[in-house]
């Protein structure tokens, strides 16, 4: 529950302290994130990156936000609180909530994700520079994900702005068609066009990949 009840800025502080306290990581390291942990890792890369991350493997990360409360008992226990203040509730989930029906409200009220994705008018060049310094960015997406909705968020896609959260069959804008990619706001285009961005999918639910997928698809990157 602490990962849910602790805001992501605080989790970033704790993670940074742990990394800097480990002498084995002083020369840099490869980072593998699972689910929400990917936002902490990416915040570290964009805002801190000292010691630097060389490779970043994001497994089922809500990289472009989530548009509905996850289908999970722990999250559902705090959703009544979250619904009272979707962008400001004192839980981590509010940090990456994105209501596709109202883009301006998201940009005005998002306390974490809008900044991390460099979506506001004033861009932070350090964010893009740090991400573009990665030797590899690997995005793993679960096609039947019931936690990160839409699942395309795991590869930096999302629903098209202006669509109701309650609508069915909403149009998804894939990563390469987003304004963030086209403008290279966090270095995704730079990584992609240089061959350093890799995207893998598996048919299954959130983090429910097989041992074969892990060993044949993910571990070879770490073996490098």
What is the value of pTM for the model shown? 0.94
Print burial letters for 138-173: b (CB count within 10 Å at least 16), e (below 16). Answer: bbbbbeebebbbbbbbbbbbbbebebeeeeeeeebb
How confident is the model at residue 217, as a pLDDT?
97
CA dist 61 and 52 (Å) reads 20
Closest-CA residue to 3 (of 31, 36, 34)? 36
Which of 92, 145, 155, 184 is an active site residue?
Answer: 145
Q: How far is CA 141 from the centre of its chain?
A: 11
Per-residue pLDDT tens listing for the chain (224 residues): 888 889 999 999 999 999 999 999 999 999 999 999 999 999 999 999 999 999 999 999 999 999 888 777 777 777 777 777 889 988 898 999 999 999 999 999 999 999 999 999 999 999 999 999 999 999 999 999 999 999 999 999 999 999 865 656 789 999 999 999 999 999 999 999 999 999 999 999 999 999 999 999 999 999 86
Q: Is 169 one of the annotated active-site residues of the chain?
A: no
Position 165 scores a pLDDT of: 59
153 is catalytic: no
What is 2-223's CATH number? 3.40.50.1820
- Residue 22 a catalytic site member: no
Spell out the domain ranges in the chain: 2-223
My answer on whether omega of the bond before 51 falls inside 30° of 0, hence cis, is yes
């Amino acid at each position: 529950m602490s990962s849910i009840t602790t805001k992501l800025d605080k989790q970033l502080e704790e993670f940074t302290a742990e990394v800097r306290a480990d002498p084995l990581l002083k020369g840099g390291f490869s980072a593998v994130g699972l689910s929400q942990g990917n936002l902490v890792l990416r915040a570290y890369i964009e805002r801190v990156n000292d010691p630097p991350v060389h490779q970043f493997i994001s497994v089922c990360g809500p990289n472009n936000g989530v548009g509905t409360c996850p289908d999970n008992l722990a999250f559902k226990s705090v959703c009544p609180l979250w619904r009272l203040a979707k962008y400001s509730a004192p839980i981590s989930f509010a940090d990456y909530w994105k209501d596709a029906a109202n883009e301006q409200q998201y940009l005005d009220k998002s306390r974490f994700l809008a900044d991390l994705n460099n979506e506001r008018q004033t861009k932070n060049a350090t964010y893009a520079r740090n991400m573009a310094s990665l030797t590899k960015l690997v995005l793993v997406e679960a096609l039947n994900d019931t936690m990160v909705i839409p699942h395309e968020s795991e590869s930096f896609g999302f629903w098209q702005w202006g669509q109701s959260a309650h609508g069915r069959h909403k149009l998804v804008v894939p990563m390469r068609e987003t304004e963030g990619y086209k403008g290279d706001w966090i270095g995704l285009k730079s990584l992609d066009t240089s061959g350093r961005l890799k995207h893998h999918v598996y048919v299954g639910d959130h983090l429910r990949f097989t041992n074969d997928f892990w060993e044949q698809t993910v571990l070879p990157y770490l073996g490098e």
